[in-house]
Amino acid sequence: MEINQSHLIESKLPEVKTTIFSSMSALAQQHQAINLGQGFPDFDCDPQLINYVHRAMTAGQNQYPPMPGTQILRQEIASKVSALYQAHYDAETEITITAGATQAIMTSILACVHSGDEVIVIEPAYDSYIPTIQLAGGIPVLVGMRFEDNRFSIDWDLLASKISSKTRLIIINSPHNPTGMTLCKADLDTLAAIIRDTKILLISDEVYEHMVFDGQSHQSVASHHALAQRSFIISSFGKTYHVTGWKVGYVLAPKLMSTEFRKIHQFNVFTVNTPMQVGIAHFMQDHQHHLNLSRFYQQKRDYFREALANSKFRLLPCEGTYFQCVDYSAISNQSELDFATWLTKEVGVAAIPVSAFYREQKQNKLVRFCFAKQSNTLINALQRLQQI
């Protein structure tokens, strides 16, 4: 006798379906389209990084590392953060290695959000934030970005108006996925003033920290003392070293916050694979590997933008990340999902509708392209886009 499984389990995330990234990638494969949708490079990492990992493996470094991560990697992260942001984090008690940034986000939220707590999420937002808040029993409070003159910015007055006695956490993301916006020091100062007399904590998602363009510097929360004291700061080696499939990231947080983070972390993943940690630690000793990343991706950004400058697409600013948003309103009146589907099927280039980064699917006639691709991939994709 067959059992009706719907009677056996009640979904904790009934609204969650297949992600737009999986859907568009499958559609791209079905129609042999060039995939500029999902945010990962289609080129290999530095062979030297592979060599360091191989050496760690052949040297027998294949068993469990310490729960917070290998000492050598945590120490290298502490040195990098000190050099870049003049911020001291203790490698023993304030830095934890994670299985990518998404696990770091989930663990941070689970560590501090209790049932009924409110968490402010700025939209458009990375798609893991809201489901994780719900799993923790929290209540997402959505604050839409201001979108004027084809530019996104945070409406800090609106955000301040959403704070209540139940607000436990605010999540920020800079450089920002999907818009490419970056926060400046004045933004951080404003946020610090808003939460100064509260017990509100902060998650700062900084996975694109080494992709900031046009001579600007990344404004890390680590460099802002008032905010750093109440923040989980998250970064990703997958984004920085072109190894998204390795799923290695880290969290910076003050000692007491790190203690709570690690309580969840040890029962979530416990720890992260050893040889990748050791290999990354040796590779990052040459700081040029992350310091040169902005120049590397700015060249790709500039090429992408120049190729579409005379097209029917209107380019939004791209101050950081490896994403370029475009306005297609001169081409079509379709919804963003319908346009992205048409673009994939008929033009042969896959993109992501920006509406997918809103819970209510807000429509601004925008799609997001990823330019973290080989030159030939970009050339072929841009030739197709130019013909629209």
DSSP 346: I
Tell me: pLDDT of 130 over 80. Answer: yes
Domain boundaries, the chain: 5-45+291-386, 47-289
Q: What is the pLDDT of residues 138-161, one digit of tens each?
A: 999 999 999 999 899 999 999 999
Helix (H, G, I), strand (E, B) or coil at 232: strand
Q: What is the reported pLDDT for 16?
A: 84
Extended beta strands in 256-300, E state: none
Q: What is the pLDDT of residues 50-103, one digit of tens each?
A: 999 999 999 999 999 999 999 999 999 999 999 999 999 999 999 999 999 999
What is the CATH code for 5-45+291-386? 3.90.1150.10
Per CATH, 5-45+291-386 and 47-289 having the same topology is answered no
Which pairing describes strands 167-173 and 95-98: parallel, antiparallel, or unpaired? unpaired
Q: What is the pLDDT of residues 335-378, one digit of tens each?
A: 999 999 999 999 999 999 999 999 988 899 999 999 999 999 99
Mean pLDDT for the chain overall: 96
Report d(CA 118, CA 77) in Å as an integer.
31
Long-range Cβ contacts of 191-197 (<8 Å, 24+ apart): 191/156, 191/227, 192/224, 192/226, 192/227, 194/156, 194/159, 194/160, 194/163, 195/163, 195/170, 195/230, 196/226
Angle in degrees, CA 130, 136, 137, rounded to 5: 90
What is the CATH code for 47-289? 3.40.640.10
Percent of the chain with pLDDT over 70: 99
Q: What is the reported pLDDT for 1?
A: 61
What average pLDDT does range 166-178 have in this prediction?
98
